[in-house]
Amino acid sequence: MQKVAVITGASSGIGSALCERLLQEDASLHVCLACRNMDKAKATRDRLLSCFPHADISMVKVDVGNLASVLHAATEIKKRFCRLDYLFLNAGIMVNPRISISAFARGLFSRRAVRMLTTAEGLMTQEDRVTSDGLQEVFETNFFGHFVLIRQLEPLLCCLEKPSQLIWTSSVNAHRSNFSLDDYQHSQGREAYSSSKYATDLASMALNNRFNKQGLYSSVVCPGIVMTNMTFEILSPLLWKLLMPIMWLVRLFTRTYTLTPYNGAEAQIWLFKQKPELLDPLVKYHSCTTFFGKNYVETRKMDISEDLAEKFYMKLLELEKQMLEKQTIHDSIENTA
């Protein structure tokens, strides 16, 4: 039976490179591009078809920062497929990210220089907004929209005879210190991105606890530092180009400067080829690139605890219930109007 992979955020950057690499690995795979912008999705599909003319590629519209869109996409996916082998939860945003020049200068001459350069910890300022659903945008887009999608697609993902894989694009920037159970949407803090990525790490652990027995396995990856639309919002492409020789040199000290979307997708591709039952749910899979450009995957233990993951999961179920009830009321008002 033909395998099916759904990829959110497939319209650019790492998601788009991932689709290409998936087809290189398995030309018979059905690749479903789950994107919010259908023009961009079509452009990605056409580009993929120009390299793989016989590839089986479909598209589904989904804005993971909008609950109604997520529910609609889930219904559509359930109509089209009877099972999913891979769900790549890759779409993500940072709102108005900026490098703090003063923090950079201070950090560069301190003992935490390498940590700052490899994790961007303390280096960036960002903003956040509230979506039409009333949730923090970074939380809903990077995490909660995906969580609801998984829950809606459970019937297609849970099959004892054949395991399915959830593969989240997390980050090395997912820090426990930026996450709080009391403010898991991070409405009060200034590290919404880090908090949302820590949320994915926690949820992945809780999902494994719940669903492994039903044949569903979850893993998290970090693509490294990659030049994509997201990084081009931090600095202009020209500035990144000028910094490129320095970033190549930094590869002597850290392998996480993967730089290209192709390299950044290494960990996702590695996971695609593994037996999920044999994976360690407590590690994050990092895409790495050596100074000479060789790609490989490094595993690093995540700073997560089962207790926190379970408490967070219970809060998520509560939020999901509230949001679905709100959506049902909204739909019935729309239908009677």
Residues marked active site are found at 193
Q: Does 135 bind ligand NAP (CB under 6 A)?
A: no
Query: At its nearest, how many Å lie between ligand NAP and the CB of residue 161?
Result: 31
To the nearest whole angstrom, how small is the minimum distance from the Cβ of residue 198 to ligand NAP? 12
Per-residue HEC secondary structure of the chain comes to CCCEEEEECCCCHHHHHHHHHHHHHCCCCEEEEEECCHHHHHHHHHHHHHHCCCCEEEEEECCCCCHHHHHHHHHHHHHHCCCCCEEEECCCCCEEEEECHHHHHHHHCCCCHHHHHHHCCCCEEEECCECCCCCEHHHHHHHHHHHHHHHHCHHHHCCCCCCEEEEEECCCCCCHHHCCHHHCCCCCCCCHHHHHHHHHHHHHHHHHHHHHHHCEEEEEEECCCECCHHHHHHCCHHHHHHHHHHHHHHCCCCCCCCECHHHHCHHHHHHHCCCHHHCCCCEEEEEEECCCCCEEEEEEECCCCHHHHHHHHHHHHHHHHHHHHHHHHHHHHHHHC
Q: In the complex, what is the shortest distance from the CB of residue 12 to ligand NAP, in angstroms, rounded to a whole number? A: 4
Residue 67 makes contact with ligand NAP by CB under 6 A: no
What's the closest the beta carbon of residue 70 comes to ligand NAP, in angstroms?
9
Give the number of residues in contact with ligand NAP, rule: CB under 6 A.
Answer: 30
225 near ligand NAP, rule: CB under 6 A: yes
Q: Which stretch binds ligand NAP (CB under 6 A): 20-28, 84-92, 102-110, 239-247?
A: 84-92
Q: Is 132 in the site for ligand NAP (CB under 6 A)?
A: no
Which one of 10-18, 149-157, 179-187, 295-303 is the stretch in contact with ligand NAP (CB under 6 A)?
A: 10-18
Question: Does residue 256 belong to the site contacting ligand NAP (CB under 6 A)?
Answer: no
By the rule CB under 6 A, 204 interacts with ligand NAP: no
Give me the residues that bind ligand NAP (CB under 6 A), please. Answer: 8-9, 11-15, 35-37, 40, 62-65, 90-93, 141, 169, 171, 222-223, 225-226, 228-231
